[in-house]
Every structure is written in C-alpha cells, then in structure tokens.
A and B are shown apart, each in its own frame.
Chain A
Amino acid sequence: MEFGWFLLATVLKVSFILGVTVLLYAPVFVLFERRQSAMVQDRIGPMMGGVKMPRLVIDHLQTLQMGAFGMAALCGLLFLFATAQVWQGNGTEVLFTEPVLGVRHTWNGMMFVFGALAAVHVPLGVVLPYLFHHDRLTIFGGLHALFDAIKAFTKEDVVPPEADKFLFSLAPIIAMVPALMLGAVIPFGPTLYVDYLFEQLPAEGTIGGAAIPLQVASLNIGILYMFAVGGAGIIGAALAGYSSNNKFALIGGLRAASQMVSYEVCLGLTIVPLFMLYDSLLLDEMVQWQVDHVWGVVVQPIAFVLFLTASIAEYKRVPFDAPEGESEIVAGFFLEYSSGKWLMYMLAEFFEVATSSMLIAVLFFGGWDVPFLGRGGWEAFGYAFDLSGTHWAILSEVANSHVFIVAVQIGAFVLKALLLGMLSIQIRWTLPRFRYDQIMQLCWRMILPLALVNILVTGIFILLTGI
C-alpha cells in the first residue's frame, strides 16, 4: 500500500479510537455514573441543566411523539407493501421511468429505506419525552453534566504558592495522556479489505488487494505496551501528590503509587494464562483465537474476575479509591487541583474506565467477534444465511457484504465495552471502600496467589491436552 494511503488510514483509525474514547465513552460514562447512582439510590439525580425550549414544543410533546409513531406506522405499511412486492418477485422492478434524485428506485430499495425509517422512528418516539424535562431540553440530564464540565473548566485555576509550579502543571497531563495512548493497540475491528467492500468474502483462505487491519498499531510487544503505558499513569498521580506541597496530597500520592505498582503486578500475572492459551502477545491474534475457538471468559472465568478487580484497583475507583480517600484525606493526590487541571484528572479516570473496558472486551469477550458472524457472512450450526437464488437475494447481498459485516462487528465491540463500563460503574456504586491495608492484602495475599495457581492449572491443562 502506498505511504499516503497508509497515513490516511492511520489518521482515520487514530481519530476513530480517540473519538470513541473522548466523544462517546467519556460523556456516556459520566452520564451513566450520574443516572445509575441516582436510580440505585432512589433519586432522580441532577436534571436542572438544560436548554429552555419554547412553550409550543413542550406543550405539543405528545403530538410530536404521536407524529413519530405515526411516521413509523406509515413507513412500516410502505415497508410491508414493498416487502410484498419483493415476495412476488418484483424486487428489481424500476418504479419510475425517470431516475428520481439521481437514483433508480426499485422495490428492493424501497424495502430497505422504509424498513430503516420505520425502525428509526419507533425508538425516536419512545425516547422523545425523556429528552425533555419540564420546560427544557435535558437529554436524560446529560446537558447538566456538560454544563458542570463547562463550569469546572471556567473556574479560577488555583496553584498553591508553595507548590512546584512546573511539576504541578505537568502531573495532570501525565495522568491523562497514557489513558488515551492505550487505545493505540486495541483492535476495534477485523481486517478491512478495501477492494471488496460490497462483496461477500470467502470464509477461508487469503484475500488479495489492499488490507487495512482495524487497529492503530499491531506492536509485536502487544499487551506489554499496555502495561508500560498504563504504568506511566502512576507517575501522574505520584507527581501530583508530591508537587502539591500538601500533606494529605502527599499521603494520597504515596497510596496511589504503592497501590498502582502493586496491582500492576497482579494485572500482568492474571492474564498470563490467556497468553498461554492464545499463544500470542498480540491483541489482534488474541481476538482471532477467540473468533476461532470460544470467548476468553468461558475458558478463564477466574482470570476475568481477577483482572476486572485488578483493573478497577489500577484506575483507583471505588472500592479501591483509598488514594482519594474522601473521608480520610479530603481528595488525596489531586486535593490542590482546581478548574481545568482537576477536570483532567476526572476525565483521565473516565478515559481509563473506557480503555480498560475496551481491553477487557478484547481479552475476555472476543473483541469485535459476533457469534455466528464470520468473515464470509452469517452462519449458525452449519446453516449459512444465503438467499441468493430467491426473490430475497438483495437481503443476503446486503447482510453478507463485507462492509456491513465489519460495521456490525465494530458496533459490537463498541457496545461490549460500553456494557463493561456500565458494569464497572455499577460496581463503583455497590461496594463500599476497602481499608488501605485490605487493598494491599487483597493484592498480595489473594489475587497474586490465585493468579499463580491459575497459571499452574492452565499450564497443566495445556500440557495434558496439548492444545
């Protein structure tokens, strides 16, 4: 592939993974955090922020909703009519003698367009009333979170006079940037064969032409990169505690450093069994193994629980938030931070939730794998989804086309990470905080021996069965 195209593809991949982390996961997790905590505790939660809507819109929400449902019903009827036409074999019949809007309309096209329109309007109608609260547009309270962020950002940025100004300003950057860099090795989709976008690929064998692996960089050190870069985040927390010239902050920084270093060990050891099973350190090959065999969580459930625990401890959220220690050391290592710098720590936390969810999805939940969906199309228990000989050829043509399959798989990956993030937020609102010594004991006396035993058992298993 030419260098120019390679560069373009890389830029697109980087912007996708950054965009998903910054623009999708971070705001959605902030919103989840607020809504989930509120609903679990029988509160409504913050809903005040919003854009005031004209009375006319607010008064006619019901009408708008009925309109959406009516539209859905209308499109549904047209969809059924088009489907009936396809049923009778008129699928490829051209509807108008002249092309309308430059497109030749056929019953096949009508079926897809109206089906999609009907499918879009139903959730739109369901969601519509929840977007508004009283006289304003709140988007499930999401605008309140946005306004909170704007407020935090525009506040006065206080730097303690006795603090080390340079390190104090550097620390939040060191904390946030590694969280974003982690995305570089995560495979968010299968290999994209640019020359065959709209065709059905063969299920087996090599495919020629330009191929773009949907992963920013397939480093040969693979997951070790994650630990190396993730380990850099420790410096951010430790520096913050050190440079603030505040004793609480120092204690918080020390706690953060020792906790993160300890759990780094656990984090590495808990997934050693996966390396042994997948026989690779490359994340894309790990996903490929899971596509070929089963998801990692099925073969290594204990490793999953241990890794989830260790990764929550690694990004310092409840129940492992001793470095922040709200009730003991005020806010811990970022106690002296305000305004944008504080926001960077806050965002770094959510970026880390996002990247670790993506990593868990890749390691244990098959990454972009969708059950019964292979490179060559949909297939279950030996039955392929293939209607090419019938009136419904267009359906299997679309469903089995390469670009559609890749889109579904990328969507599945994004959704898996989203659900895992939701789980970790729910854990944050369920479990009480561990004492500091309990955190250390859990690491060195529970997780570490269990991880070692898991390695041993997996090793014996592999030796005996010879996988």
Chain B
Amino acid sequence: MAYLIKKPARTLSEQVYAVEAAKGLGITFRRLFTNVFGKAEDKKIATIQYPDESRDYPERFRGVHRLTHRVDGSPRCVACLCCSTACPAQCIHIEPAEYGEGDPRHGYERFPRLFVIDELRCIFCGFCVEACPCDAIRMDTGTHVPASWSREHFIFDKETLMSIPGRDGTYVTDNPRHEPGDPTHPGIDRDHHH
C-alpha cells in the first residue's frame, strides 16, 4: 500500500542551499586552519605515519615469545615440558638435557638443549606462559613476529628466543630465583636439606 513520507520541514536558509553550503565551508575551513596552523593541543590529527611512527601495543598484548635469562645469562627454563604440553597448536619443541657433573645444578634441574617455537604455527593464546612454573617463557615483548621472506625464518630457536628483550629492554625478570646451594633455596625435600 502506498503511503506518504512526510518531508522534513526546512527553514528558508536550508532551502536556499548556498547559505548552508557557506556554513559548511566555514566549518571545513576552520578545521583546516586549526589542523595546519593551530596550536599543537588544538590539532585533531588522528592518524600517524605508520612505518615511521608506531603506536605502543596495549600492556597485556601477547607478542612474540622470549626466553628469560638467569642472572648468569643461562636460560631460566628447566625443560619441564609444561609449555609444550599445554600448547594447543603444538608448536613448541623441547629437548631436555642434564647439567654436567660438578655443576651445582646437576641433579636439581634440567635445561633445554633445544627449545624451538614455530611462530607460524603459534596461535598466540598465551597458554605456554600460563603453564610455565618458573617464569621462563614470556610474551611481554610488545612487538609482533617480524615479517620475513622464508618460512624457515619463523622457526625460532633457543638463541633467537633468548635474544629478544622484554618491553622494558631487560632479559632477566623481577621474579627472584633461588639457585641451588644458595641458602634461600628451598632444597629438594620437605626438611629443606641441600
């Protein structure tokens, strides 16, 4: 059924288009002059020149992984395989190894001989970080995986992962770590025997 749509009421100045057009020109010209010549705080430019400038990712952004260091520069990771077990994309490959005879850590903990993440397979869910019992793997780097030409470049090995700093530029985390032999170390049994 045909029905009538009421035309919106117009004032005379709206009907004479030139007046409203002049008003519109006034608005755009004002905006133009503020954005070009105005004071810095008045400017309303919303865009940035991306490759030259970039915005910081949010605080909790899950970026490329990194392996944190101990104070002596060795990886914090004890190769417990929690992360690779938790990983839904199965992109983490770890080969554990024993510290050598005579090393204070020998018999206490292992270290990863190989720690490989396939960054193309990773879905950046962050479960590995959740699973890690000793704060060894983190995604707080604040950057994404850089683009590259070859798939092989995205297989990040232990050295690569350890070479990526956190957002604050450090490799060691604030979480204290108790090395074996150090009196604060909880020991291997409930009576705190070293």
Q: List A residues at the B interface (Cβ < 8 Å).
A: 35-36, 39-40, 42-44, 47-48, 133-135, 305, 309, 423, 426-427, 429-431
Contacts and interface: CB of A to CB of B under 8 A. Distances in A.
A44 B28 contact: no
B171 to A, nearest CB: 29
Contacts of B49: 44, 47-48, 133-134
B35 A39 contact: yes
B46 A43 contact: yes
Interface stretch (B17-25, B95-103, B158-166): B17-25
B31 A431 contact: no
B52 A426 contact: no
B52 A134 contact: yes
Interface string B8-49: 000000000010010011011101100110000000111111
Interface of B is mostly: helix
Contacts of B52: 133-135
Size range of the chain B interface in the assembly: 10 to 19
A45 B147 CA distance: 25
A131 B46 CA distance: 21
B47 A44 contact: yes
Contacts of A48: 49, 51
Interface of B: 18, 21, 24-25, 27-29, 31-32, 35-36, 44-49, 51-52
A36 B47 CA distance: 15
Nearest to A44: B47
A435 B25 CA distance: 20
B154 to A, nearest CB: 27
24 contacts: A35-B36, A39-B31, A39-B35, A40-B28, A40-B31, A40-B32, A40-B35, A42-B35, A42-B45, A43-B45, A43-B46, A43-B47, A47-B49, A48-B49, A48-B51, A133-B52, A134-B52, A426-B25, A426-B32, A430-B21, A430-B24, A430-B25, A430-B27, A431-B21
A42 B46 contact: yes
Contacts of A423: 25
Nearest to B24: A430
A42 B46 CA distance: 6
A44 B47 CA distance: 6
A153 B18 CA distance: 38
